[in-house]
Amino acid sequence: MKIFDHDRAGVASALTTFAPIIPGEEETVRELIEALPQGEESPFARLPQLHCSRLHILRELQYQGGGQKPDELASSYLVFTSSYDGELDDYLDTICDEIPEEADSWWSHCVAYPGTADRAAFKRYIRSHHRKTSLFAAAYPPETVQSVRDALELRRRVVDFVVDTQGLSAAELQRRFDETFAEAV
């Protein structure tokens, strides 16, 4: 019998961690998160297997009312969620290799964080704060980040081709198509 893995969807995996923030450090973590560059300058852009990621602070749980007892957190938590290709060990190695300073900058404000320099300790820390995902979906379950990027690049090339070849004769259009897309066929 196959057991369903809530942290997998096709080739993508999910990682969700809740790391308790050192009391009094919440504002520093918030500033670090808000100062992260976005787009191509984002440190996350240096993780080739990353589909998407989010960092945020969980300070309190929303009370839903209805006569139930409100839940209170023992501390604020740094929540790190991401969707990535491959195995967790490889993904954590990539974090240590590609964004160690950035990862250390936000997690160093969390209780007992060992840093990325001690890779084994870093991996144990992340695993100890990992929580199974109860809802995880991948936009393109059978596709890797690279295959999605390749498809987007091909789409850009096709759009450019269509724009550049408006009004050409059928013979010239065929010649340009063969020349432009020979390696794609």
Domain map (residue ranges) of the chain? 8-129, 145-184
Tell me the backbone φ, ψ of residue 163, rounded to 5 degrees.
-65, -45
3-state DSSP assignment of residue 56: strand
End-to-end CA distance of the chain: 41
Phi and psi based region of residue 48 (left: phi greater than 0; alpha: psi -120 to 50; beta: remaining) = alpha
Alpha-carbon distance of 103 to 82, in angstroms, equals 13
Report, in this order, helix, strand and coil percent for the chain, each rounded to 5: 45, 15, 40
pTM: 0.79
| Cα 124 versus chain centre, distance | 19
Architecture of domain 8-129: 2-Layer Sandwich (3.30)
Alpha-carbon distance of 131 to 112, in angstroms, equals 18
The answer to whether 137 and 9 have CB atoms below 8 angstroms apart is yes
pLDDT tens series, the chain, 185 aa: 555 567 777 788 899 999 999 999 999 999 999 999 999 999 999 999 999 899 999 998 887 777 778 788 889 999 999 999 989 999 999 999 999 999 999 999 999 999 999 999 999 999 999 998 877 667 777 777 777 777 788 788 888 888 888 998 999 889 989 888 887 55
